[in-house]
A and B are shown apart, each in its own frame.
Chain A
Amino acid sequence: MSDGKRLAVLGAGAVGSSVVDLAAEYGHEVVAFADSSAAVVDADGIDAAAALERKQTEGTVGDADPDAALAADYDVLVEATPTTLGDAEPGFSHLKTALERDRHVVLANKGPVAERYGDVRALERESAGNVRFEATVGGAIPIISTVEDLSPSHVTAARGVLNGTANFILSRMAAEGIDYEHVLAEAQDLGVAEADPTFDVEGTDAALKCVILANVLSAGEREFTLSDAEVEGITNVPGSALELAAEDGRTIRLVGEATRDGIRVGPRLIPQNAALAVTGTRNIAQLETTNAGQLNLSGRGAGGPETASAVLGDVGRLD
């Protein structure tokens, strides 16, 4: 175990807030915490409970300028602002600032490693800090650290069911024999799906995770971005297709596949009893390895505390 670290947490959504809430349990101290409009900074450690309470009641975490968190004296920057496409901002600039100050960066935000992987690695090479991003793929499931342990050159492919919303919709459609629109409305009521579910149901989120995996697998030999991925979502899968699949002992899952050669995401036909046929919001990643055969890693792919556990696991791996 490494020594306790001083964390600056950017982003006060489910993941950022859980990191702040759980940091002490993992032996770390939060010295700065920012949402999009305000920050709280204290070199002796912020009052996590007070900041989270204030976020709940007033909508902001504190009185300071958000930039103050980025400028604070921390060991590790936890980047948990929303994922954006294209230039991956402002997450990328946050990461850049921290690395230029020779700090470590732990990402929960997929943007920088999915859209600007080469830039991130270049900045990391110039810095004394390291970048880790376990939480960006599969929430609580240790996929990236497993690939690192095996060494990327010994993993020929990674595939998986990596989007809980799409998986929830498909498994409900199959189990209840109801159509896409109905299940989507139900998922939105339950809070499983966002008001705008496009990112999940059109496969973009799963594709970003596969892009990250492909970048890890290729170990710098080739850089992947979303534009390299062949993506199809689940919006075109009718109930009749799930019925036909079930007649044959199969089901449909939104499966992402990443190799050193490319990325494909789309609805795939798989046996109902296959490891990949996880139900509900459960995720699974399957690694094809050269010496260890197939490895299946399954667990909770989203959620505040679950994803925060991956962030704090990364913090623990830093020197």
Chain B
Amino acid sequence: MTPALGSDSETERADDAERSGRSRGDIDDADREPQPHTIRLELADEPGQLLAALEPISENGGNLLSIFHERGNVTPRGRIPVEVDVEATPDRFEAIVAALREGGLNVVQAGAEHYAEEVVVLLVGHLVDTDLSDTLRRVEGNPATSIADFSLNAPEGRNDTSSARLRIATRAGETTAALELVREIASEKDLHVVEPLAGGAL
């Protein structure tokens, strides 16, 4: 399911689908050519985090070019920024980014896309019974949004009302669309959304 967001991202998706369909019979060399990509990550300051970030790259056929690990430079959220340059074909690169996210790593930037803005929302309702993983996957699956942080509070156990906080990183100018996506998922699953104020008003 591709959630309807901006028309640009839909078009990109359509192009991708067309390319991959065509490449089965008639391989488009330009698309199969490995290209350099930059991935920016934010890692928790814990042992093993860097290794966890590099494994998905080699496992998915990426060629590691360089790692820039800014240990002294902590982000406002207390994370360590890491910049990784990797060479891979476009589809392998996509698999790498997906694997990094599945591994719980915070991908700030992948290739040309830059998650420039953040939006925090609360979801309230039967979160677990309405397939929480699916909810998160759909936000994560959108090309313009990525979950930077997630926290669940279910004091009554899984069968009652619970709350979740989602910190969603979005591409520049996409926060409104990100909110629409969350609203759409919530209305489908009968969840309530506690939104931030529009336009950054405080």
Contact = CB atoms under 8 A, between A and B. Distances in A.
A66 interface: no
Interface stretch (A48-56, A97-105, A212-220, A241-249): A241-249
B153 interface: yes
Contact of A243 (B153, B194, B197): B153
B202 A276 contact: yes
A244 B197 contact: no
Interface string A260-282: 00000011111100111000000
Interface string B135-170: 000000000000000010111000001111101000
A244 B153 contact: yes
A241 B153 contact: yes
Given A247-B151, A268-B197, A286-B201, A240 B165 contact: no
Contacts of A243: 153, 163
Contact of A244 (B165, B198, B201, B202): B165
Residue of B120, B162, B194, B196 most packed against chain A (CB within 10 A): B194
Contacts of B125: 236
B151 A244 contact: yes
Q: How large is the interface on B (under 10, 10 to 19, 20 to 34, 35 or more residues)?
A: 20 to 34
Given A236-B124, A240-B153, A274 B192 contact: no
B120 A241 contact: no
Given A240-B155, A274-B202, A245 B197 contact: no
A238 B161 CA distance: 8
A276 B153 CA distance: 25
Nearest to B198: A257
A263 to B, nearest CB: 12
Considering residues A240, A271, A276, which has the most beta carbons from chain B within 10 angstroms of its beta carbon?
A: A240
B192 A269 contact: no
Contacts of A257: 197-198
A265 to B, nearest CB: 12
Contacts of B196: 268-270
B122 interface: yes
A316 interface: no
B47 to A, nearest CB: 25
A47 interface: no
A111 B114 CA distance: 49
A244 B149 CA distance: 12
A28 interface: no
B120 A250 contact: yes
A288 B201 contact: yes
Contacts of B120: 248, 250, 269
Nearest to A286: B201
A237 interface: yes
7 contacts: A238-B163, A240-B153, A250-B120, A252-B194, A255-B197, A276-B202, A294-B201
Please provide the 7 A-B residue pairs with the shortest distance between their CB atoms, ordered closest to farther.
A274-B202, A241-B163, A240-B153, A240-B163, A244-B165, A236-B192, A244-B153
Interface of B: 120-122, 124-125, 151, 153-155, 161-165, 167, 192, 194-199, 201-202
